[in-house]
Structure 1
Amino acid sequence: MGGASSRDQEAETSYCLENETVESSNSSFFTDEELAKLKSDYDTGGVEKVKTVVQQKVTELDNTELNVAVTGQSGAGKSSFINAMRGLRSVDEGAAEVGTVETTMEPTRYKHPNLPNVCFWDLPGIGSLEMPLNKYLKKMKFKKYDFVVIISACRFTENDSKLAKEIKRLGKNFYFVRSKIDNDLDSKRKGGGQFNEEEQLEKIRNDCVSKLQRTGIPSPSVFLISNFDLNLYDFSLLNKALEGDLTNIMKNMYILALPNLNSEIVEKKRKELRKRIWMLAILSGVIGVVPDVSLGCDTGIVIGGIVHFRQCLGLDDSSLQSLAKRAGKPVEDLKAVVTTPLVGGEITPDVINRLAWGAAAVTISAIELTVCFIPVIGSIFGVGSSFLMTYKLLSAALDDLTESAQKVVAAAFGTKNDPNQTSAQ
């Protein structure tokens, strides 16, 4: 690929730097203030100064932790919820212990299988003889958690309300989750007679809300879920509430940690992963061409990005095995629908070279760059640069991996699971 003329490069640079407001902080990990500083740094210090700022942001992304506390009454299904959120069954290695009696006497941390910086904490049941409320509030150290999920299997109590008030006082968000909804509906069906499922769900939700209001929570939101099928009931609504409350980086971590339950989650992951591409491309562009590498990009950065994408999209071997077990399908059936060579083996420079054939000849305009989550910087490195090659390779790889992840989800669960549904079909 040939380089652009200096006039073309200046024009593209000027366009993107003047239009940094096209992309708000909603489409990157930078706030509006950080984007303005990034532009200023480039104006005063050039690419090297921008590289330092971007590298700091990448390091922040890699080092940030998301800690989720899960609490509630003994036997409410806290451990089952944590397992479901991590894409595990209770019999899988590393799963939280599930029992009919209180099995957790100390806060227990469970790391996400693919994203170890995302941790779910299984807290002891609130209000038990071993852990009365006043002692519980002191011992659990709620300040260290980013948000708290309060789970009940039947009704929320005064202790739940007191706990929520204390969490709010600490400046943390909390979410009421009513679990085991599938059990409630099954019991209703076995009782005989006709009943409307939507009306029954609304009745359960209203009952929870009214009891919380009586204990002093003015406008509580209660999310109805089944730990054994998160596609049902209010799980998608819970996710939307969480995503709206979390900062950009925390939101990114939470979405990438979700189990692949439906096409909507996979698409959300694609959007979040795309935010990192332009930063990796900038680092590649500053580093320049690695000696003895024919691609014109830093293959180490490209390979690292692809491996990260593959894990987050649930396409590594252990994730496919776990998904197959949860779906009750042979793992070979899931692997059979994968259409990209980026799954199932080691990512090597030779694999990247083959991928480059489809990406190298594509010219990207400044407008396209701005639209594709590259705020402020644009094509400052030129059309034939390592920056653009890395950007195009990672974009193509993410699209290929997302397409295969969508096919895997369809093979695992079929098309019957609608993420917007609120009840079983």
Structure 2
Amino acid sequence: MGGASSSEQTAETETPAFFTQEELSKLKSNFETGGVEKVKPLIEKKVTELDNTELNIAVTGETGTGKSTFINAMRGLRSTDPGAAEVGTTETTMEPSGYPHPILPNVRYWDLPGIGTTRFPAGKYLTEMKFKRYDFFIIISAFRFRESDAKLAKEIKRLGKDFYFVRSKVDVDLDSMRKEYKVINEEEELGKIRSDCIRKLREAGFLDPTVFLISSFEQDRFDFNRLNEGLEGDLNNVKKRIFVLALPNLSVEIVQKKNVILKKHIWMFATLSGGLGAVPVPGVSLACDICIVIGAIVHFRKCLGLDDASLQRLAERAGKPVEDLKAEIKAPLLGEITPDVIVRLGWGAAVVTVSAMEFALDFVPVIGSIFGAGSSFLMTYKLLSAALKDLTESATRVVKVAFASD
């Protein structure tokens, strides 16, 4: 439940995302002996591995703590949306139920039955819930953390997995206080709730527990962003990538994080689309595999929440007309991506004069030295960079309009 070491962080900045030094050495060796065509299978294998990487997040706690609502919130869904976890005032979950992310189905949230129920006593809980399946656990309480929560956390810790204490429904607590006292000091009352949770956990044997206070209906308030940052920081490089890309676009900061991650994928798409067999795009002085280029752009658009379904969900969550959000997206990014769209947006024309030397200056040195001289790779890389820039700017404007942020 801590961040990466300084050496790990340095390694991540000096090498392309998700490759080990051994894999990079093999890439270079294969390129030197067989060119781009010999490197492509290695890149295809890595892309497949990334696409197939699973992230399984278990959400548990006693009945009525808001597990299902939390799962829906993390997936950018409301309880009435297709595929949403069932929400109720009684125990609606009788066995582990997995809910895939609507855009990245390899990210799956698991709604577990409440611990301590007659059917699932604490002593048998982890065995029944298939403990090894999950990357980490989120333990939710809507009131105070109870003995059963503490027992579960200790067992999770003993078995070497991370867990997080989440106190939900703090918006309900504050509203109840306002009804009774009319005027309250919100910061002071939240401090009391946090202190009470920490005191109970210390009594249960946790020396320095961290508790996140959240409302699943008001993710821009309280500790929701802090929780997401904590989860992100404790994941390895590959799983961190898919966790961030799966977050709903609730802030400009999230959009920018997604942009950084997607940038690290561009060189792989460029490798796959460049090389032998590449053909010029009509109207653009660029040789590439247009199917791969268009597929990459569509992928970027979905991850940045600019597809129709994501925009509709965001509009409903923010209480804004979806037309207002779509008006912030650079035309014609909303429609079908075709070679004609690439020409109209000027992505290809803007890069045809870029030199390999300029390219090497803003790219990862290890890979830049291998591919810097390949014109089709270079052109595809710059085209996708321009496309991602336009998509990120559009996503940023959409978020600002949705939540009226500066």
Question: Could you state the TM-score of these two structures normalised by the residue count of structure 1?
Answer: 0.87
Compared CA separation, residues 34 and 213, structure 1 to 2 (3 A): farther
* Segment drifting more, 159-168 vs 101-110: 159-168
Pick closer, same or farther for the CA change 1:49–1:384 going to 2, 3 Å: closer
Paired position in structure 2 for 1:123: 112
Question: C-alpha distance in 2, partners of 1:390/1:212?
Answer: 54
**Distance apart, 1:265 and its partner CA:** 0.5
Contact 1:38–1:376, Cα closer than 8 Å, also in 2: no
* Correspondence 1:413 to 2:403: yes
Partner of 1:191 in structure 2? 180
What is residue 292 of structure 2 aligned with on the other side?
301
Q: Structure 1 residue aligned with 2:303, among 312, 331, 343?
A: 312
Map 1:200-279 onto structure 2 (within 5 A). Answer: 200-279=189-268
SS at 1:195's partner residue? coil
Structure 1 residues 290-321: Cα deviation after superposition (integer angstroms, max 9, x where no partner)? 37856311111110100100111110011111
RMSD: 2.3
Determine the C-alpha separation between the residues in 1 that align with 2:301 and 2:12: 29
What amino acid maps onto 2:354 in structure 1? Answer: T
For residues 16-415 of structure 1, the aligned pairs below 5 Å read 23-25=13-15, 28-43=17-32, 46-192=35-181, 194-290=183-279, 295-343=286-334, 345-354=335-344, 355-366=346-357, 368-369=359-360, 371-372=362-363, 374-378=364-368, 380-381=370-371, 385-415=375-405
CA distance in 1, matches of 2:12, 2:238: 20
2:65/2:142 contact within 8 Å kept: yes
- Distance of 1:42 and 1:258 partners within structure 2: 36
Task: State the Cα distance separating 1:219 from its structure 2 match.
Answer: 2.2
Larger RCO, structures 1/2 (Cα 8 Å, 6+ apart): 1
Q: C-alpha separation between the residues in 2 aligned to 1:381 and 1:33?
A: 18
Q: Percent identity?
A: 64
What displacement does 1:80 show? Answer: 0.2
Displacement of 1:252: 0.4
Q: What 5-or-longer segments of structure 1 have no aligned partner?
A: 1-19, 417-425
1:317-356 CA deviation, whole Å, 9 max, x = no partner?
Answer: 111111111111111111111124222x111122223333
Counterpart-to-counterpart distance in 2, 1:22 and 1:252: 12
The one-letter code sitting in structure 2 at the alignment partner of 1:174 is: F
1:228 & 1:352 partners in 2: Cα distance? 39
Question: How far apart are residue 160 of structure 1 and its match?
Answer: 1.0
- TM-score, length basis structure 2: 0.90
Deviation at 1:411, TM superposition (A): 1.4
Partner of 2:3: none
> Aligned partners of 1:45, 1:219: CA distance in 2, in Å?
56
Contact 1:111 1:117 in 2 (8 A): yes
Q: Which amino acid aligns with 1:307?
A: V
1:366/1:379 contact within 8 Å kept: no
Once the two structures are TM-superposed, the CA of residue 358 in structure 1 deviates from its matched residue by 4.0
Q: Check the 8 A contact 1:296/1:389 in 2, yes or no.
A: yes
Q: Structure 1 residues 239 and 404, CA, compared in 2 at 3 Å: closer, same or farther?
A: same
Aligned equivalents of 1:340, 1:142: Cα separation in 2 = 47
Quote how far apart the aligned CAs of 1:170 are: 2.5
CA shift for structure 1 position 357:
4.4
Deviates more, 1:318-327 or 1:200-209: 200-209
- When residues 338 and 274 of structure 1 are mapped into structure 2, their CA distance, relative to the original with a 3 A threshold, is same
User: How far 1:83 sits from its partner (Å)?
Assistant: 0.5
Q: Deviations over 1:155-190 (max 9, x none)?
A: 111111111122222322111111111111112222
Q: Gaps spanning 5+ residues in structure 2: where?
A: 1-9
In 1, Cα distance between the equivalents of 2:12 and 2:306?
33
SS of residue paired to 1:356: coil
Q: State the shift of 1:217 in Å.
A: 2.2
What amino acid is aligned across from residue 121 of structure 1 in structure 2? W
Distance 2:98 2:380 in 1: 37
Identify if the C-alpha distance between structure 1 residues 32 and 162 changes in structure 2 by more than 3 Å, giving closer, same or farther. Answer: farther
Q: Could you tell me whether the CA contact under 8 Å between 1:22 and 1:375 is conserved in 2?
A: no
Q: What's the CA shift string for 1:16-74, capped at 9, x where partnerless?
A: xxxx979435x612234443444444455543443332222111111111111111111
